[in-house]
Structure 1
Amino acid sequence: MPTKNKEIGLAIVGCGTIGRIRAEIARAYPGVGWIGLCDIKSDIGQKLAEDVQADFFTTDFRELLARPEITATIIATDENFHFEPTMLAIQQGHDLFIEKPLATDARQSAQILSAIEETGVDAVIGYTQRFRRRFLAIKERLITGQIGDVHSVVTRAFMNRMVPIATVQRTQERATLTPMVVSGTHSLDMSLWLMEGKKPVSVYARSTDRVLGAWGTKDSTFGIFTMDDGSIFSMNISWALPEVWPGAVYGIEIGIVGSEGVIDIEDTHRDLVMATNVAQGAGYAPEGYKAPDRHVEFLTSYPPGDLHLGQLWGPMREETNAWYQRLYAGLDTPHATAQDGHRNLLFTMAMDVSAKRGEPVALPPDPAELMAELS
């Protein structure tokens, strides 16, 4: 782990919604002594630089990552553009926070993981939901054996279609921008984290694209994993729900059955409902896309958290501050590792390959074979 009480010189590559959140939290963290920003859209980057009083801004990530002040880098670009800045940050020896996925190309993901392991840099992946109190409480019950040996897990995720539309309209490279790779990966990571110690050995999946096929992606993917000890795990996601679906982004249900008990998780946010005559915008509005007004909303269903007093409160605040504490004070944290991130990408892509073939796929798959089939 990093040296205790080492002042952080922070680079953030990508100044969109997530980069902004993490930069604002960094400015308030006393262990961050220097902040540099990069975004190819100078207006967005300059605005964030002004708002957080950044020490440096550029539209060239190479210029930023060459700065001698930097000790740690956050990669918060669009999914398709992680590889080059991540590899450069690794070469510079920076500690890393990489928004999921490591890359959208499995071969590049493998290269990133190999470079991280070879250099020994401390790298974590952005799986924010690990930092919610409910999941940490469940994790503790599982590692202390409160329900015995887990043998069956069922996970279901529902999302409105704003996320896939916003994701695919930013690029024509859409072959790997599927429900599982982009969003189901969060549910997959959560379930495998809760099932820690069990190794998936095969997956069988099916998909459909009746609604979102016109956008170049799929509607839903359902899959069943078999683990090395015979346990089974089903992972189902649909991100094609209508725009008026009350969830700002997503809702998850997870059932975990063990030899001595069960944990049943309803994380759909239906316990906090607002109905109003005041029109509500889409929870995740794609740029230039006119979504219908919503009048019912499941509050707290925006994954990063919620705004109050001009600040974000919730799991992304916890996750980001925990990372700064990891760097500054050397604390252990529940962040996903680079190994977790690469595994998650391979398994989500394996689900897509299985759905395409209509037959099970052995795990872990070969990155080159995945890309040859998916591309």
Structure 2
Amino acid sequence: MRQVKVGIIGCGGIANGKHMPALSKLKHVEMVAFCDIVEEKALKAAEEFGVEEAKVYTDYKELLKDKTIEVIHVCTPNKSHSFITIDALENGKHVMCEKPMAKTAKEARQMVEAAKSTGNKLTIGYQNRFRSDSEYLHKVCDNGDLGEIYFAKAHAIRRRAVPTWGVFLNEEEQGGGPLIDIGTHALDLTLWMMDNHKPKMVVGKAYAKLKDQRETGNAWGDWNPEEYTVEDSAFGFIQMENGATIFLESSWALNTLETGEAKTTLCGTKAGADMKDGLRVNGVKYNAQYVEKPALSAKGVDFYDGKKESAGDREARLWIEAVVEDKEPVVKPEEAMAVTEILEAIYKSSETGQPVMLGE
């Protein structure tokens, strides 16, 4: 496979935690340019992950002028996803943009239009699709084993795990809190399983009930209420054009013991499935109810633990392969756009107290 030169725009947490480590494991990838508004972050990333002659920038537009760079990974706060991605596409680059696709549905649509008009590839960082349980369940759904999936739940619930670093609590930079941060993963997973990205109507409510509390028991230490400008939980009810319905639940802080994120529950006419206790498929066979739990982590032999590449590693590998082999990426921009449209509609419904109609 030929060498692919990659530029990284945004050298913060998600770049260091997922994108750059995953790309560094691919022998045919060279990270040749790094950009961050904080130059020290870009310098550190270049030293750790870059080729010897890697360049460092504080202005992403200067990075995009490098015609040898074929792929850009956009790992900036949500506010800048759309215009950086569009600029990169228009400069002849293929783009992997971190989730969520954009702050607004309008921006997401503009990104899709830019990909179409330029002919360059665009994908969004929904790495939970690449987990072994997700891929197995997708095959189950794609094969029709569940029948028509007409009801589903998208789960993204934390009890006390508010991210207190970066700009996660800043509505202007991020566009929202847990709904747009982790709810987006659960919703993408659910729509992908259903093979249904055509929403019709959304009703939702976002809450900021706990953000003013102190001595919070939070996993990453107490948050600063003065800086907390987003919701702490949000819930939505989505009706799809074909009549299917989805309940989306998301929180960073909620008084509940029912936790779990990037999970889905599916109910079909032939069978159902959930990720509550590992992957479980349920149904009726030979006039008896059954529950099946695929052995996705079976070791096989003592010296092999069965562990495959991580979801982030697999996401990066398949994305680069899509570029090199000129294939459609696993996460299509139109699918990610539908997620953003629904999230925006939940926020809008919460503000107005009214249902929001889509797809008209």
Instruction: Using structure 2 for the length normalisation, give the TM-score.
Output: 0.79
Shift of 1:230: 1.8
1:344 match: 339
Counterpart amino acid of 2:276?
Answer: E
Deviation for aligned residue 1:38: 0.8
* Alignment partner of 2:250 out of 237, 245, 249: 237
Q: 1:198 to 1:326 in 2, by over 3 A?
A: closer
- 2-structure distance, mates of 1:267, 1:41: 42
Instruction: Give, in whole Å, the separation in 1 of the partners of 2:183 and 2:351.
Output: 17
Aligned-residue offset at 1:179: 2.5
8 Å Cα contact 1:174-1:217 kept in structure 2: no
For residues 114 and 173 of structure 1, what CA distance do their matches in structure 2 show?
A: 24
Unaligned 5+ segments in structure 2 are: 213-224, 280-307
Q: Please show how residues 24-103 of structure 1 align to structure 2 within 5 Å.
A: 24-33=21-30, 35-54=32-51, 55-103=54-102
1:318 aligns to 2:314 (yes or no): yes
Larger displacement relative to structure 2 (119-128 or 5-14)? 5-14
* Cα distance, 1:12–1:246 mapped onto 2, change above 3 Å: farther
Question: Amino acid of the residue matched to residue 28 of structure 1?
Answer: K
Amino acid at match of 1:96: V
| In structure 1, distance between residues paired with 2:7 and 2:48 | 16
Task: Tell me which residue corresponds to 2:188.
Answer: 189
Q: Is the 8 Å Cα contact of residues 354 and 361 (structure 1) preserved in structure 2?
A: yes
Instruction: Find out whether 1:363 has 2:355 as its counterpart.
Output: no
Match of 1:288 in 2: none
Query: Which residue number in structure 2 is paired with residue 211 of structure 1?
Result: 210
CA contact (8 A) 1:6 1:327 kept: no
Call closer, same or farther: CA 1:358–1:84 in 2, change over 3 Å.
closer
Structure 1 vs Structure 2 CA RMSD: 2.7
1:259 equivalent among 254, 266, 269? 269
Instruction: Please tell me the residue identity of whatever aligns with 1:355.
Output: S
Query: What is the CA-CA distance between 1:171 and the residue it aligns to?
Result: 4.2
Say if 1:199 and 1:228, in contact at 8 Å, map to a contact too. Answer: yes
Q: Say if 2:149 and 2:266, in contact at 8 Å, map to a contact too.
A: yes
Aligned AA (1:230): G
Task: Map residues 156-171 of structure 1 onto 2, 5 A cutoff.
Answer: 156-166=155-165, 168=167, 171=170
Give the distance between the partners of 2:182 and 2:10, measured in 1 at CA. Answer: 19
**TM-score (normalised: structure 1):** 0.76
Pair 48,238 (structure 1): closer, same or farther in 2 beyond 3 Å: same
Q: 2:23, 2:313 within 8 Å by CA — same for their partners in 1?
A: no
> Which residue, 214, 219, 236 being the options, matches 1:223?
236
Looking at structure 2, the residues matched to 355 and 170 of structure 1 have their Cα atoms a distance apart, in angstroms, of: 18
Distance in 2 of aligned mates of 1:107 and 1:198? 17
- Paired residues, what number? 314
Report the secondary structure of 1:256's partner residue.
Answer: strand
1:212-256 C-alpha deviation (Å, 9 max, x unpaired) = 2641111222221112222211111122148xx998xx5355321
Identity, in percent, stands at: 25
Of stretches 159-168 and 322-331 in structure 1, the one that deviates more from structure 2 is 159-168
Structure 2 residue aligned with 1:119: 118
Secondary structure at the counterpart of residue 166 of structure 1: coil
Maintained 8 Å contact 1:198/1:229: no
Q: Which amino acid aligns with 1:322?
A: L
In 1, Cα distance between equivalents of 2:142 and 2:101: 27
Query: Which structure 1 segments of 5+ residues have no match?
Result: 270-311, 366-375
Matches within 5 A, 1:274-285: none
